[in-house]
């Protein structure tokens, strides 16, 4: 016997098995909600107010985290400038790394003198 023939036999056998034919009852009415329109609106407004409070709190946390990260970054840059690993041109906010091969001599940079915070 081939696999195809066995598959056909199994399919016919499964279809021939008796099954119960239960039918769900018809929906006659939709249950009413217990909240009135005013109460429903009040609840919706309360939910929205809660969402806004949560979103403001998330924003505040991100601002605090950002300020902390800014301070850490500034501390790192200033430390690099003070140790002679980076420099800052006068009248510019950006910092630049100093190549250990001799950028300090090339730009005539003295440790911690170029630019200021």
Going from the C-alpha of 3 to that of each of 9, 12, 50, the distances in angstroms are 10, 14, 63
Per-residue confidence (pLDDT) for residue 72, from 0 to 100: 94
Contact 57, 50 (CB under 8 A): no
**What residues have CB less than 8 Å from 3, skipping those under 6 apart?**
none
* Domain of 61, in residue numbers: 38-117
Question: What average pLDDT does this structure show over 70-75?
Answer: 92
Residue 58 included in any domain: yes
Per-residue confidence (pLDDT) for residue 113, from 0 to 100: 47
Q: Residue 96, SS3?
A: strand
Count of domains observed in the chain = 1
Percent over 90 (pLDDT), the chain: 21
Selection from 83, 85, 105 nearest residue 96 by Cα: 85
Residue 12 included in any domain: no
Residue 60 included in any domain: yes
> What is this structure's pTM?
0.44
């Amino acid at each position: 016997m081939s696999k195809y023939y066995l598959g056909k036999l199994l399919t016919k056998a499964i279809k021939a098995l008796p099954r119960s034919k239960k039918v769900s009852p018809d929906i006659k009415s939709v249950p009413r909600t217990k909240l009135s329109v005013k109460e429903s609106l009040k609840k919706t407004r309360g939910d929205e107010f809660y969402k806004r409070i949560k979103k403001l709190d998330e924003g505040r946390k991100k601002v605090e985290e950002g300020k902390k990260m800014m301070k850490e970054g500034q501390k790192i840059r200033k430390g690099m400038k003070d140790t002679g690993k980076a420099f800052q041109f006068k009248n510019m906010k950006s910092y630049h790394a100093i190549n250990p091969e001799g950028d300090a001599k090339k730009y005539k940079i003295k440790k911690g003198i170029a630019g200021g915070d």
